[in-house]
Amino acid sequence: MTGELSPIDKAKFVAAKRAVEFVEDGMRVGLGTGSTAAWMVRCLGELVREHGLRVTGIPTSTRTAELARNVGIKVVSLDEAKWLDLTIDGADEFDGDLNLIKGGGGALLQEKIVATASDQMVVIADAAKGVDTLGAFPLPVEVIPFGWQTSKALIEEMVASLDVMGSQTALRMNGDTPYITDEGNYIIDLHLKRIGNARQLAMVLNQVPGVVENGLFIDICDRVVIGYGDGRVETRDINNGTVEESLIEFVESDNLFRDI
């Protein structure tokens, strides 16, 4: 099982395993979307099934909701939960201030709504996701389908005047057709290479007509849990200014690793 995992998957697994330690009995927990978040959902499901942990999960996508139900986590909508104790999610990039780029999995809108409706957000990631400056990963921007080409042109015009290194944009595709989010929208990926002022960019992007939300998560993340392929885990807390290191042992688990 674990012997078949790549170093990256091992890193994601140990980060997820450490992150679910922040979940307490009775919590309402936002469940992120993506490959790293999927490990977290499986780890949390194991705690529910085998240790009797009582949690309510609020998923950020239909695929996360399906996985959560499959592993035994009670799932409700954000409208039912109203407010959350904690959200655990992955990230495509994070910087030293724990600002993020998210949305590679196409769920940035629901992810941002759920994260901002939580007392705390914990991000889980492998070490390769850490950067000095955001922007190497393409920045997703969710737009409504109506007039998307106009929105794309306005975004390109706006980006050209800001402190970024690149300006290429592309409509995200799913084969021969546009990728459709859970909310029925399109995603335009901005290949900026380097974002000099992420806060400014996030604010300006959301002023463009047709833009629903962007993938910059500024001042939302409280902790980042960084996994390594050898089982080491580093936890950075932006509020307390602390860095903790630990080691997660790999344990074979048919229930956790099935269908990987």
Does the annotation list 105 as a binding residue?
yes
Does the annotation list 74 as a binding residue?
no
Does the annotation list 106 as a binding residue?
no
Among 46, 93, 111, 213, the active-site one is 111
Does the annotation list 91 as a binding residue?
yes
Active site residue 111: yes
Does the annotation list 77 as a binding residue?
no
Helix (H), strand (E) at residue 232: strand 232-237
- Which tokens in the block code for residue 115? 């994260």
Q: Which residues pair with 74 in a beta bridge?
A: 56
Does the annotation list 34 as a binding residue?
yes
Residues 185 and 210: beta-carbon distance below 8 Å: no
What sign results for the dihedral spanned by CA atoms 43, 115, 156, 133? negative
Q: Is 54 exposed, middle or buried (0-12, 13-18, 19+ CB in 10 A)?
A: exposed
255/243 Cα distance (integer angstroms): 32
63/102 Cα distance (integer angstroms): 17
Does the annotation list 90 as a binding residue?
yes
Does the annotation list 135 as a binding residue?
no
Q: Which residues are catalytic?
A: 111
Positions at the binding site for substrate: 33-36, 89-92, 102-105, 129
Known binding-site residues equal: 33-36, 89-92, 102-105, 129
